[in-house]
A and B are shown apart, each in its own frame.
Chain A
């Protein structure tokens, strides 16, 4: 084979192709996106709840402690509803690694899939195909494109979370004084949404006594968050309280405060898991903090999947369904269901939670 002439021929072909393509082609502007498929069929709220439904729970990755708790809630609901419930998933949380498991669930003729998506788009084609074959899809924790699932269970409304944190810090510092925020990374979408709403809340008259002096970023790294806490206290000697809307930051700040002269003088609150904060609640460093309960998320996911597979709901806005011990829920815009306001943990109730 003469590589030189082959290369020359290849270059000529490529050049021709480029020339042709530049004349007309499919571009971002010319591409048609196609209509999104609507929810299928009509809901029958009186339909009997089916038993023996086969359900697959697909977390972002297996052996992730947070999703293990979500799974436990799902198992509980499946037990009550007499559904077959199993968990499976990839060992890495990369964008596309869940697709194999979605296809497998479709091949296994599962009635419903309950998943937390690693990527809102990469899993969408597989989900759409699976839905066409009759599988109901419920997303929780992290959503996908709205036309690729039936219902999305949102753990908490962003506003609820932000408002609750402002309430907690105001309470903790007695409504007066300098406060600071210790966040994750500067570009963390959910954190920034909360911080933005928190600032709006702080602008209200009832919080006039509170002054937000700094927003620090600990990058969701324990050591960095620890040092940022130290830095905040040195930079602002009058600091009365810190809000950390991330588990890593809250735990690191708790660790610093609990071993420093500021313990009991500087208030700390935010979002965290009971297991990581238990020690600091018991030693008085942290009074109250908040988070949603992941097991309730899984519980509600299985309840919604059962209602979908039984035909009680289709995912359309305004439909209502009963979710066992959690009561009744109404589906919001674009098939979204909000679990409810965040749970507040303190010394009185923290020992009831294990996650």
Chain B
């Protein structure tokens, strides 16, 4: 545990460095309210999906279909809107559809015992395909301003985007679930050793299924946020976003082998990736360099905790 706190401190330190360098390099623009507002919007979907995905990875599994669920949710919103449904009805249906997608992932993993990496690579294509069947290459854009404002404007009197408020609420919920509930302790136990967890009475399959369902539902919520933010429902929305989310989770110090990680670390990881990207674009760094820096940071994120781990873990606990 001590090792993980250390990595989080490193992340927070890096965040401070980015903030200081950012405001010096851009003459204060980086930390201005307006820019932070856009930064918040920019990371909204990644931040939302990173929450449940953290729990999935802690449990020793992975879900690569999240961005496809986002796209399917967006396509569903557009299709139902075109069909004349009320948005108040469409939104819960889209979230429910996301939960069903998550349940399919979860059932394939838990009932058939298939590896989640393979299952969700399959459903990554499947769900994106369904989205394309629904909406093809057309876009639905005639949503009313009262709804699209949710994705575009700050909460009155502040510079906080509505999606970030939604994120904050969900973040508290997921933090309680992971770090302060027996469900969370079960999740860690399963990730550390699911065989041992099963023998100690934890309903391993049930927990994993719930985690996949939650991930699907939140990915669908992210799909709604995405749709309203760009006022555009498209089947290819969020294409490739899964890699950014997985990257943020790993940078946040969650072990890809399961059993270790904190939600705080992941939130710091999301902020660091988003902040760095924002700063580099604001500083007119070329897109090529941006890609190189992001890749290098991710490698460092996976490598450094591992190096720190072998140095700081007491000898007796080494494997």
Q: Which of chain A's residues have a CB closer than 8 A to the CB of B144?
A: 26, 31-33
Q: Is the beta-carbon distance between A28 and B230 smaller than 8 angstroms?
A: no
Interface 0/1 of A106-120, CB less than 8 Å to B:
111000000000011
Q: Which of chain B's residues have a CB closer than 8 A to the CB of A123?
A: 230
Asked if A265 is at the interface of the complex by the 8 Å CB criterion, the answer is no
Q: Is the beta-carbon distance between A1 and B92 smaller than 8 angstroms?
A: no
Complex alpha-carbon distance, A122 and B236, angstroms:
12
Q: Which of chain B's residues have a CB closer than 8 A to the CB of A124?
A: 141, 231
Q: Is the beta-carbon distance between B87 and A27 smaller than 8 angstroms?
A: yes
Q: Is the beta-carbon distance between B92 and A96 smaller than 8 angstroms?
A: no
Q: Which of chain A's residues have a CB closer than 8 A to the CB of B210?
A: 3
Complex alpha-carbon distance, A176 and B182, angstroms:
84
Partner of A28, one of B81, B89, B183, B229: B81
Q: Is the beta-carbon distance between A25 and B88 smaller than 8 angstroms?
A: yes
Q: Is the beta-carbon distance between A121 and B92 smaller than 8 angstroms?
A: no
Complex alpha-carbon distance, A124 and B282, angstroms:
20
Q: Is the beta-carbon distance between B206 and A3 smaller than 8 angstroms?
A: yes
Asked if B38 is at the interface of the complex by the 8 Å CB criterion, the answer is yes
Q: Which of chain B's residues have a CB closer than 8 A to the CB of A260?
A: none
Partner of B239, one of A26, A88, A94: A94
Q: Which of chain A's residues have a CB closer than 8 A to the CB of B286?
A: 62, 88
Q: Which of chain A's residues have a CB closer than 8 A to the CB of B86?
A: 21-22, 24-27
Q: Could you say which of A69-77, A97-105, A223-231, A232-240 contacts chain B? A: A97-105
Complex alpha-carbon distance, A183 and B277, angstroms:
40
Asked if A17 is at the interface of the complex by the 8 Å CB criterion, the answer is yes
Asked if A95 is at the interface of the complex by the 8 Å CB criterion, the answer is yes
Q: Is the beta-carbon distance between A18 and B230 smaller than 8 angstroms?
A: no
Tell me the minimal C-beta distance from B77 to chain A in angstroms: 12
Tell me the minimal C-beta distance from A35 to chain B in angstroms: 11
Partner of B84, one of A3, A28, A34, A145: A28
A28 in contact with B29 given A88-B281, A104-B282, A119-B232 (CB within 8 Å): no
A107 in contact with B92 given A27-B84, A100-B42 (CB within 8 Å): no
Asked if B291 is at the interface of the complex by the 8 Å CB criterion, the answer is yes
Tell me the minimal C-beta distance from B300 to chain A in angstroms: 21
Asked if A129 is at the interface of the complex by the 8 Å CB criterion, the answer is yes
Interface 0/1 of A136-161, CB less than 8 Å to B:
00000000010000000000000000
Q: Is the beta-carbon distance between B92 and A18 smaller than 8 angstroms?
A: yes
Interface 0/1 of B143-183, CB less than 8 Å to A:
11111100110000000000000000000000001000111
Q: Which of chain B's residues have a CB closer than 8 A to the CB of A100?
A: 38, 42, 277-278, 281
CB interface residues, A 15-68, toward B, < 8 Å = 17-18, 20-22, 24-29, 31-34, 62-63
Asked if A14 is at the interface of the complex by the 8 Å CB criterion, the answer is yes
Q: Which of chain A's residues have a CB closer than 8 A to the CB of B287?
A: 62-63, 88-91
Asked if B293 is at the interface of the complex by the 8 Å CB criterion, the answer is no
CB interface residues, B 72-92, toward A, < 8 Å = 81-82, 84-89, 92
Q: Which of chain A's residues have a CB closer than 8 A to the CB of B183?
A: 1, 3
A95 in contact with B81 given A31-B142, A31-B143, A121-B141 (CB within 8 Å): no
Q: Is the beta-carbon distance between A121 and B182 smaller than 8 angstroms?
A: no
A107 in contact with B35 given A14-B92, A26-B146 (CB within 8 Å): yes
Complex alpha-carbon distance, A119 and B282, angstroms:
23
Tell me the minimal C-beta distance from A203 to chain B in angstroms: 31
Asked if A186 is at the interface of the complex by the 8 Å CB criterion, the answer is no
Complex alpha-carbon distance, A28 and B288, angstroms:
42
Complex alpha-carbon distance, A103 and B35, angstroms:
8
Asked if B96 is at the interface of the complex by the 8 Å CB criterion, the answer is yes
Asked if A125 is at the interface of the complex by the 8 Å CB criterion, the answer is yes
Complex alpha-carbon distance, A100 and B38, angstroms:
8
Q: Is the beta-carbon distance between A107 and B234 smaller than 8 angstroms?
A: no
A28 in contact with B38 given A3-B210, A90-B287, A121-B141 (CB within 8 Å): no
Q: Is the beta-carbon distance between A108 and B236 smaller than 8 angstroms?
A: no
Tell me the minimal C-beta distance from A109 to chain B in angstroms: 8
Tell me the minimal C-beta distance from B253 to chain A in angstroms: 25
Asked if B32 is at the interface of the complex by the 8 Å CB criterion, the answer is yes
Q: Is the beta-carbon distance between B232 and A27 smaller than 8 angstroms?
A: no
Complex alpha-carbon distance, A3 and B212, angstroms:
14
Complex alpha-carbon distance, A322 and B174, angstroms:
59
Asked if A86 is at the interface of the complex by the 8 Å CB criterion, the answer is yes
Q: Which of chain A's residues have a CB closer than 8 A to the CB of B84?
A: 27-29
Partner of B232, one of A18, A21, A92, A121: A121
Q: Is the beta-carbon distance between B89 and A96 smaller than 8 angstroms?
A: no
Tell me the minimal C-beta distance from B236 to chain A in angstroms: 7
Complex alpha-carbon distance, A100 and B84, angstroms:
32
Complex alpha-carbon distance, A25 and B89, angstroms:
8
Interface 0/1 of B199-234, CB less than 8 Å to A:
000000010001000000000000000100111101
A-B contact pairs, 22 of them (CB 8 A): A1-B177, A1-B182, A21-B89, A22-B86, A24-B86, A26-B146, A27-B81, A27-B86, A28-B142, A33-B144, A63-B288, A89-B287, A95-B232, A96-B226, A96-B232, A104-B281, A108-B29, A108-B282, A119-B234, A121-B141, A124-B141, A129-B152
Supplied contacts A103-B42, A119-B232, A122-B232, 12 more A-B pairs, CB within 8 Å:
A22-B86, A25-B86, A27-B86, A94-B236, A96-B230, A107-B35, A107-B38, A107-B282, A108-B29, A119-B230, A124-B231, A145-B141
